[in-house]
Amino acid sequence: MTAAANKLASLTALAQRFAGDLSREVLDEMGAFVYATDMQGRYVYANPMVLRLLGRTLPEILGRTFGEFVQYDGDDEREALDRAVFQDGETIAREERNVIPATGEVRTFWSIKKPMRDAGGAVTGMVGVSYDITEKRRLEDELREQKALLGVILDNVDALVYMKGEDRRFRYANQHVAKVFGVPVEAIAGKLDSQLMPREVADRFWQQDQQILASGQRSVSEQALTGADGHTHHYWSVVVPWAQADGSRAVIGLSTDITELHELKEKLQRQARTDALTGLANRRHFQECAQAEFERSRRYGRSLSLIAIDVDHFKRINDRHGHPVGDRVLQTLTQCMQENLRGNDVFSRTGGEEFCILLPETPLPAAAELAERLRAHLGLCVALDDLGMKVSASFGVTSSVDEDERFDQVFARADHALYAAKDQGRNRVVCLAAGPQTEKDRAA
């Protein structure tokens, strides 16, 4: 052999020794369980991690099978998969659970098993690499349990809970949201808000969402939404901005149904401005409406008239027949008057047997004509025949004029006209127009 050939052989041997040493170092330090078996599943190699796991030395495990050291969760399935490697030459990747003999602990591994072949390509054994994923699996199981628990909580919280991205698409919705929209909960995620709500409603909510995203501040407000059942519900909504892990933004909303509270509030407000006996506006509410109409009439130069009404001899009715009959008279009078009024007329009970009718955009002649018609109609519809009694009322009519600075002036003038009607014998209409040159009483 020549010197050159000897030198080449030496270099080749050195390279092979170095490669062998490097391979062992890689296999020993790669942080995974590496092993090889023959066709009967007997160990022909195992790295130090496998040896530490089994609590054995390499000579103690060579020629012996995995099942002699470790109890495997699902032996029949493992053997079938190993046969697929040996007989069919397949590569298998799957999760495995093993009971460690030294501690009795159950560990979870992700294992990759490949056929080992000779120079001719025939399968001679199996090479396996396994990674301990016990902690990873534990964290995943905890996360899955927490997610399931959160889902149960969110579905049983008495509120609508949702997440909507800056693309207007829902990321999450609980069962209460699905019920309002009338769709399965799994059909909501990924949908645009306008696909689940009327466009104008979705746009209104989206405008609020954009303000929250822009300001980074939460919003607290009362909202109304008509559900799939056609009923409008009221919600107290708290909506907060949320930055997601991928950098995108979203809003998270929690809306509590306060429909009953809203209806109670509306009822109390109605009671605060409504006369309980007749259902008409009470004096306080009438004054608020009247002042607003007075200011509007002055702003736009439109006429405004007022009719004051007082039931004739009402005290005599109460004294002779009792208050229940008196209440019956007032209720019947209310119904009788309402039959002849417009929707924008404000009819109010301002005292015991005193009423007022505010007539927007109505001049004095038209108001006087209406008052006379009401007076005549009252004599026909408020007749208590079972008591042998007829009911009448006196009417005072006026209109606002340029000299009026407050509605109180119009009200006082109508009241003055009313008492003029009573002084002239009752059951009549008296009109009073303001102004030193035109003021007059006219019996009708």
pLDDT digits (tens, 9 = 90+) for 305-320: 999 999 999 998 888 8
Q: Which residue has the higher pLDDT, 385 or 136?
A: 136
Domains detected in the chain: 20-137 (3.30.450.20), 157-262 (3.30.450.20), 274-443 (3.30.70.270)
End-to-end CA distance of the chain: 148
Q: pLDDT at residue 54 above 90?
A: no
CA distance 203 to 319: 62
Per the model's pLDDT, the better-predicted residue between 31 and 345 turns out to be: 345
Measured N-to-C along each axis, helices 323-338 and 314-321 cross at an angle, to the nearest 10 degrees, of: 140
- Do residues 57 and 147 touch, judged by C-beta distance below 8 A? no
In this structure, the chain runs to a length of 444
Residue partners of 82: CB distance under 8 A and separation at least 6:
41, 92, 113, 126
What pLDDT, on the 0 to 100 scale, is given for residue 18?
Answer: 41
- In 182-215, where does DSSP find H-type helix? 199-215
What's phi and psi for 390, nearest 5 deg? -110, 150
Strand arrangement, sheet containing 346-349: 346-349, 354-360, 304-311, 393-399, 429-431, 442-443
Which tokens in the block code for residue 187? 């059909």
Q: Look-up: residue for tokens 């008057």?
A: 337
Q: What is the mean pLDDT of residues 203-210?
A: 92
Full DSSP string of 85-109: HHHH---EEEEEEEE-TTT--EEEE
Cβ density class 51-61: b for 16+ within 10 Å, e for less: bebbebeeeeb
Whole-model pTM: value is 0.51
Of 389, 392, 367, 394, residue with least CA distance to 378: 392
Tell me the per-residue pLDDT of 390-430, one tens digit each, with 9 for 90 and over. 788 999 999 999 999 999 999 999 999 999 999 999 999 99
Residue 291 one-letter amino acid: Q
Classify 42 as helix, strand or coil.
strand
How much is the mean pLDDT over the chain? 84
CA 294 from centroid of its chain's CA atoms = 41
Asked whether the CA dihedral 285, 286, 290, 293 is positive or negative, the reply is: positive
pLDDT-above-90 percentage for the chain = 36
| Higher pLDDT among residues 270 and 163, named by residue | 163
> What is the gyration radius of the CA atoms in the chain, in angstroms?
46
- Per-residue pLDDT band at 267 (split at 50, 70, 90): confident
Query: What are 139's two structure tokens?
Result: 């964290």
315 CB contacts (<8 Å, ≥6 apart)? none
Please state, in angstroms and as integers, the Cα–Cα distance from residue 432 to each residue in 43, 297, 336, following that order: 119, 19, 25
pLDDT of residue 439 exceeding 50:
no
Task: Name the token pair of 243.
Answer: 């930055």
Q: What CA–CA distance (Å, rounded) separates 293 from 361?
A: 9
Contact residues for 256 (Cβ-Cβ < 8 A; gap 6+): 158, 159, 160, 235, 236, 237
Residue of higher predicted confidence among 435 and 89: 89
For 430, what's the count of Cα atoms within 13 Å in the CB-facing half-sphere? 25
Beta strands per DSSP E along 63-176? 71-72, 92-99, 106-117, 123-132, 160-165, 170-173
Q: What is the mean pLDDT of residues 225-235?
A: 83
Q: 339-352 in b/e burial notation, b at 16+ Cβ within 10 A? A: eeeeeebbbbbbee
